[in-house]
Amino acid sequence: MSRPCSGTSTKAETKRRLIVSFHDLHPGSRETCDRFISRVADLGVERVTLLAVPRWHGANPISDDRACVHWMHKAVEAGHEVCLHGFYHRADEISGGPFNRLVARHYTASEGEFFQISREKAQDRLRRGLAILGQTAGLPIIGFTPPAWLMSEAGRAAAKALGLHYTTTLGKVDLLQHEETIAAPTVVYSCRNAWRRIVSRGWVRVWARLQRSSPILRIAVHPGDFIDPRVERSLYRRIEEALRSGRRPIAYQDLVPGHPDPVLVDPLALS
């Protein structure tokens, strides 16, 4: 997929970049995502990475919703990127000691689908996800972000073997085919309950300031961020601050050298 021209910028602006991403895109969150990307376009962000879940919590494939697929194609045509984001976005089971259980149940709210995944299961889900978004929906997919940014080493190996060009953690972008990682801290809110929403607004403000010197800053948005108007106002302020500091908005795929081809899977391998 060709990339839109970034226009003129100073060397400092070129080095200071901003990645805005909308997580958990599925038919039920599409309207929220549409409003969000329209709002940030008004602020100057015309390139957002949209993290799509092929079968949100076990629902029908996202490709079955023709309106959603049509909308995603229009988004890509407008310059946005669609990224594979898990398969169900829900963990099948949780194992291990107290730390693993704490992370899986509380940090991820049991949605860390790739946190403890085996290579075989990861490969199967990645293939099926690519088939839904790539072959059936016809979208150009080059990267993968695991739910909650957590993925086992076996899952990473499966993603690399399938030809995916990047994956991400909370603090880095992993260029899988180049064995290179890029530091990229993330600003993200926690909105599962009232006290988290109050605390995270203050913490995000401090965290964003601490990361001012980082060459790449990421602002990750979830559908739940729009439940509380105070959180929504806060996230737009963080985006405005990043832009005022001279950061240039890009998508994840812009970090991959060259012009990577979309990742396709053999449909026969899914039978």
Q: Report pLDDT digits (tens) over 209-253.
A: 999 999 999 999 999 999 999 999 999 999 999 999 999 999 999
Q: What is the DSSP letter of 37?
A: H
Q: What is the pLDDT of residue 98?
A: 53
Q: Report pLDDT digits (tens) over 85-110.
A: 999 998 766 555 455 544 444 444 55
Q: Which amino acid is at 112?
A: G
Q: Cα–Cα distance between 233 and 212 in angstroms, integer?
A: 20
Q: Which amino acid is at 148?
A: A
Q: Which pair of tokens denotes residue 232?
A: 């929504």
Cβ atoms of 23 and 221 closer than 8 Å: yes
Q: Which amino acid is at 53?
A: V
pLDDT grade, residue 190 (50/70/90)? confident
Q: Cα–Cα distance between 176 and 163 in angstroms, integer?
A: 8
Q: Cα–Cα distance between 223 and 203 in angstroms, integer?
A: 19
Q: Cα–Cα distance between 124 and 145 in angstroms, integer?
A: 16
Q: Which pair of tokens denotes residue 29?
A: 């969150």
- What is the DSSP annotation of 196-247? HHHHHHHHHHHHHHHTTT-SEEEEEE-GGGGSSHHHHHHHHHHHHHHHHTTP
Q: What is the pLDDT of residue 27?
A: 98
Q: What is the pLDDT of residue 176?
A: 98
Query: With pLDDT > 90 as the criterion, what percentage of the chain qualifies?
Result: 75
Q: What is the pLDDT of residue 191?
A: 66
As a whole number, mean pLDDT of residues 151-162 equals 97
Q: Report pLDDT digits (tens) over 134-151.
A: 999 999 999 999 999 999
Tell me how crowded residue 136 is: count the other CB atoms within 10 A of its CB: 16
Q: How far is CA 121 from CA 50, 91, 93, 159, 246, in A?
A: 24, 12, 13, 11, 42
Q: Cα–Cα distance between 244 and 6 in angstroms, integer?
A: 17
Q: What is the CATH number of domain 14-257?
A: 3.20.20.370
pLDDT grade, residue 194 (50/70/90)? low
